[in-house]
Structure 1
């Protein structure tokens, strides 16, 4: 029997990432050969690649803080699932047939407070059963699974291994190299945690540990904040992380990377094997030995693969003078080539516990602007918003203008609410769509994170959660 395969999920940060690819900048109009394009930090920004062809309203959702929702499209069963917190803060799953605009709803026995860590993630196994996890920040495991494929009314609390499940954070579903359903999460807390991996057996409909040991272990002194593992076009699973000493975000340090063919045996980019668990002492996995207080934050590093299928990591840190800068790194030989992309003259200091809002610097994932030219957009506390370009081969910064195609149409970038501080949030279908040229985007509005604490009133009205179908 075939093993479980993820056909979707959530990243928690997907909304900010996708929004930044098109909406950051000071734009002016420029007309060339009758086509409207926009200038953005040396970029000629063309009309969006996709256009909206269908809009579906799902329901009102919590809007007084930022928290991630989840979207899963299952072409095989002609169905689509959305997980969110409704206007009563209740975890809710909505489902529809792809050829229908009618939604069916199932409310689950879990309510969110004000913690922006408590996003929801989903996956569908090969049997067609839906798995849902979320609303956890160092909390007991919150996990639901259907007993009847395609029937969300059969969602019930499920069990995994029963071990080290009392302080769960950052749940994530994924596939291993054989297409088997894997679930990973952090056990512990910020500054004292380990990353654990489970694998699902559809024959017995049960979970077991993928690894006998944590993949990443802070040994009671720190914890790792990983990006990934992500399977690249080179066939390797890549994982990028920073270590963190305490709940204070200023204590992030030492940007690192490892890769694996099967999520079990891991090595450096240069091929040196690492014995699990990966710990801080495994310094041959370093990309950049950024010190505590050195200007990097968990979530600040982004992973991209170039045309030669090589991993590139973009990130920010303070330079020797204390000024914030952007960098890109790529493996070369047994180490990493690091290229500074900016020469900014302003320091950006940040600190604090809980989910941080804008710390003063933010950058999108890299993307191709033109053949041989890569780009990323940024927001800077002093300089505002703009776009950087760099050469795909040498990694050296380039001056524009270069052509950039927007990810989404402008109509999706307009905030509807007039409540101060409201921002657009998005979740993308991580599995994409099997229908060529079709994409689905989930969108809503909310205030930003508030260090996981309740705000003082007044509060915005619950916002409308919408699903957009886009075609090229």
Structure 2
């Protein structure tokens, strides 16, 4: 991931709030969140708190699990009974190169209660293990999944289907020249198979940075941006695909079937965004109760110097874009290496449908003191928004990740929070370990 920015000017939170209340945005007064401390973890960069962790937290039945790197770069697992403050913590024998912020830890629990773990990837051999029994924090030794396309792995992501089976997405190849791989896990056989060695094909010239979401009907939604080279400035266009059969076949929002693999020439463009628009890697996915996709990301509109958050969504007929234009300070993305950016990539969560569609967008912005914040849209039919801060302290370079399964099942937000600092070019901040916390909040909509 590649970022270089210039941050000009500073607006205090008080002045910002006054400005927002004079427009379509107000500072929200919603129910107070509750914060639970888990343990201390590595904080020298953002590896524990980057947006593409799937998942950092996950609930199965009455138990919630989490994972992080400790100050010695060991993978640590923990679990608690839902609604309690007491965590059972297990340091594993696994270590990762936590100094590289790409090398995230991803977890998921399958329908039988087995915990699945993947960690430490940036164009290297697959690292994967699962628990020795349902509900256990004791893991197997490192094992392969399918043995196919497992040598140059980045961005591992687990997703759970309604039947309890799992999906595993990752990139095979490097920045600017990689393909999207999908594996499928069957709880009956406890075996992985490879559905697609290249669902989205960069054709050796580019790669896709994606995010996915499984909606209430079981449809898998994937959105992505294209990257033409290792330079983040070459990011462009927002594309989309969905599957209604567990990832076997894929189609556009119109229902037109894709001929696989999907390439730049065949991909549906949900929104056209040219290169050099400060378009960030990855896209956050959600869907309303009727299965209409929602995407949150940020870019700079032509003629403006200020990157703004955008909500791109399908209303059942066409793609729409809503610019959340509350930011006031410019920055620019270019160059190579993970770097510090004044705003986080967002997460989007959606409830209800039609005129009653409600949207929650989680983010961090230096303009608000680097707190965990949320844009709240009560009704998309009247797209006014409010902003609420979910933490009072600065979280440095944190990005939002949350318990996707708890949100889908109960509409409760559990947010993984840690203060971290990201130094330019995979640098380290020399920050002492910082507490891992879970922010619990149920939005009032």
**TM-score bracket relative to the smaller structure:** 0.7 to 0.9
Contact preservation (8 Å) 2:280, 2:345: no
Q: Could you tell me whether the CA contact under 8 Å between 1:50 and 1:407 is conserved in 2?
A: no
- Note if 1:74 corresponds to 2:60: yes
Partner of 2:6: none
1:194-247 deviation line (CA, Å, top 9, x unaligned) = 111111123332211123x4111101111011121x123565322111110111
Which structure dedicates a bigger proportion of its chain to strand?
A: 1
CA deviation after TM superposition for structure 1 residue 357, in Å: 2.0
The equivalent position to 2:181 in structure 1, one of 196, 200, 220, is 196
Residues in 2 aligned to 1:202 and 1:220: alpha-carbon distance in whole angstroms? 35
The residue number in structure 2 matching 1:392 is: 380
- Which position in structure 1 is the counterpart of 2:255? 271
Q: In the alignment, is the contact (CA less than 8 A) between 1:341 and 1:388 conserved in 2?
A: no
**Which residue is equivalent to 1:18?**
none
Which one of the candidate residues 423, 431, 448 is aligned to 2:405? Answer: 431
1:64 maps onto 2:38 in alignment: no
Q: CA deviation at 1:334?
A: 7.7
1:11-50 aligned within 5 A = 25-26=13-14, 39=21, 42-50=24-32
C-alpha change, 1:390 and 1:248, in structure 2 (3 Å) is: farther
Q: How does 1:47-196 map to 2 (within 5 A)?
A: 47-52=29-34, 55-58=36-39, 60-68=40-48, 70-75=56-61, 78-98=62-82, 101=86, 103-176=88-161, 178-196=163-181
The separation in 1 between residues aligned to 2:75 and 2:42, in whole angstroms, is: 10
Q: In 2 relative to 1, CA 405–454 (structure 1 residues): closer, same or farther, beyond 3 Å?
A: closer
Return the offset for 1:309.
5.0
Decide which of 453, 461, 472 is 2:427's aligned counterpart: 453
Which has the larger Rg?
1
User: Which residue, out of 225, 228, 248, partners 2:231?
Assistant: 248
Any unmatched runs of 5+ in structure 2?
A: 1-11, 50-55
After superposition, the C-alpha distances for 1:366-419 in whole angstroms (9 at most, x for unaligned) are: 778x967868688888999997989834x9x76xxx6x47373xxx3324xxxx
Give distance in 2, aligned partners of 1:383 and 1:264. Answer: 43
CA deviation after TM superposition for structure 1 residue 341, in Å: 6.1
Q: Deviations over 1:328-366 (max 9, x none)?
A: 444478863456665999875320212232167866647
Alpha-carbon distance between aligned partners in 2 of 1:29 and 1:325, rounded to the nearest angstrom = 19
Alignment CA distance shift 1:306-1:40 (3 Å): farther
Mapped contact 1:195–1:215 kept (Cα < 8 A): yes
Pick closer, same or farther for the CA change 1:336–1:427 going to 2, 3 Å.
closer
Q: For 1:381 and 1:422, how far apart are their aligned partners in 2?
A: 9
Measured in 1, the distance between the counterparts of 2:321 and 2:424 equals 34
Aligned pair in 2 of structure 1 residues 438, 245: CA closer, same or farther (>3 Å)? closer
Residue 321 of structure 1 corresponds to: 303
Note if 1:280 corresponds to 2:264: yes
The runs of 5 or more residues in structure 1 that have no matched partner are 1-23, 31-37, 416-420
- Matches of 1:45 and 1:375 in 2, distance apart? 14
Look up the match of 2:5.
none
- State TM-score, norm by structure 1: 0.74
Are the counterparts in 1 of residues 110 and 160 from structure 2 also a CA contact under 8 Å?
no
Q: Where does residue 414 of structure 1 map in the other structure?
A: 393
1:431 counterpart SS class: helix
Residues 413-439 of structure 1 show CA distances to partners (whole Å, capped at 9, x for unaligned) of 324xxxxx8455664222117995765
Q: What is the number of equivalent residue pairs in this alignment?
A: 417
Match of 1:310 in 2: 292
Q: Secondary structure at the match of 2:123?
A: strand
Q: Distance in 2 between matches of 1:318 and 1:29?
A: 22
SS of the residue 1:112 aligns to: coil
Q: After the TM superposition, which of the residue ranges 109-118 and 148-157 deviates more from structure 2?
A: 148-157
Q: How does 1:204-223 map to 2 (within 5 A)?
A: 204-211=189-196, 213-223=197-207
Aligned to 1:259: 242
User: How far apart are 1:268 and its partner, in Å?
Assistant: 1.3
Aligned to 1:462: 433
C-alpha change, 1:332 and 1:159, in structure 2 (3 Å) is same
- Deviation string, structure 1 residues 79-100 (Cα, Å, up to 9, x no partner): 3322111111111112344567
Q: Secondary structure at the match of 2:141?
A: strand
CA separation of 1:384 and 1:342: change in aligned 2, threshold 3 A = farther
**DSSP 3-state at the match of 2:77:** strand
Question: Structure 1 pair 357/256, CA: closer, same or farther in 2 (3 Å)?
Answer: same
For residues 469 and 288 of structure 1, what CA distance do their matches in structure 2 show?
33
Q: Go from structure 1 to structure 2 and tell me whether the alpha carbon gap of 1:100 and 1:454 turns closer, same or farther (over 3 Å shift).
A: closer
Using a 3 Å threshold, how does the CA distance of structure 1 residues 436 and 186 change in structure 2: closer, same or farther? closer
Cα RMSD for the two superposed structures: 4.1
